[in-house]
Amino acid sequence: MLRDKLKHHHIILASGSPRRQQFFKDLDIDFEIRLKEIEEIYPPHLEASAITDFLAELKANAFEGTLHLNDILITSDTIVWHQGRALGKPKDFQDAFQMLESLSGCTHDVITSVCFKTIDSTIVINELTKVTFNYLSSEAINYYIKNFNPYDKAGAYGIQEWIGSIGVAKIEGSYANVMGLPVDKVFEYLSNFST
């Protein structure tokens, strides 16, 4: 369906995330993966979705001057927003443990922004999902980090993994968004792009 609508466009996914890459495969569209290393630094006054909006656009701007007429570049960024601060990817075991300990028994926001860039325009959309965790014992947190190495995940967890099965009490909003991409919104945007 989407493949036909986008047949005159070249989709570039600028993400090394295997989860995001799988989502694009599931959308059944042709796409190229193109990566650029950037420092993900944002102004300290930014909060919540303003952070992910900024970083998604920052990642897209790294490709300025390299896009062709029919290219649609897609970048994204996800954070866990909890108690007034952003939880990104943990630096080490201790950092991951502290993140999960802080999420235990609480509700937090998972925010993903997606930037669509062409040579003519830059559009950023975002999605917020509320996730409530059960109480997590130190033993459960240790087990999860040791066995699943969640160092490439915002907030130190992947909802699709063991911790999601035993730890998540409630979710309000998009499940896919918690995995790193609001697929329904991406589908909607791309569906309307060529019309």
Q: What is the pLDDT of residue 126?
A: 98
DSSP letter (8 states) at residue 44: T
For residue 96, give the amino acid letter. A
Q: What is the pLDDT confidence band of residue 1, given thresholds at 50, 70 and 90? A: confident
Please name the residue that has the structure tokens 């943990």.
90
3-state SS, residue 152: coil
In this structure, are strands 168-172 and 107-117 parallel, antiparallel, or unpaired? unpaired
What is the pTM assigned to this prediction?
0.94
Q: What is the pLDDT confidence band of residue 5, given thresholds at 50, 70 and 90? A: confident
pLDDT, tens digit, 9 for 90 and up, residues 23-36: 999 999 999 999 99
Q: What is the pLDDT confidence band of residue 194, given thresholds at 50, 70 and 90? A: low
Number of domains in the chain: 1
pLDDT, tens digit, 9 for 90 and up, residues 143-163: 999 999 999 999 999 999 999
For residue 44, give the amino acid letter. P
Dihedral angle of Cα 175, 60, 152, 85, to the nearest 10 degrees: -70
CATH number at residue 153: 3.90.950.10
The distance from CA 146 to its chain's CA centroid, rounded to whole angstroms, is 23
Which domain covers residue 149, as residue numbers?
A: 2-193
Average pLDDT score, the chain: 95
Active site residues per annotation: 77
Q: What is the pLDDT of residue 70?
A: 94
105: region left, alpha or beta (phi > 0 left; psi from -120 to 50 alpha) = left
Q: Are 164 and 140 in contact (CB under 8 A)?
A: no
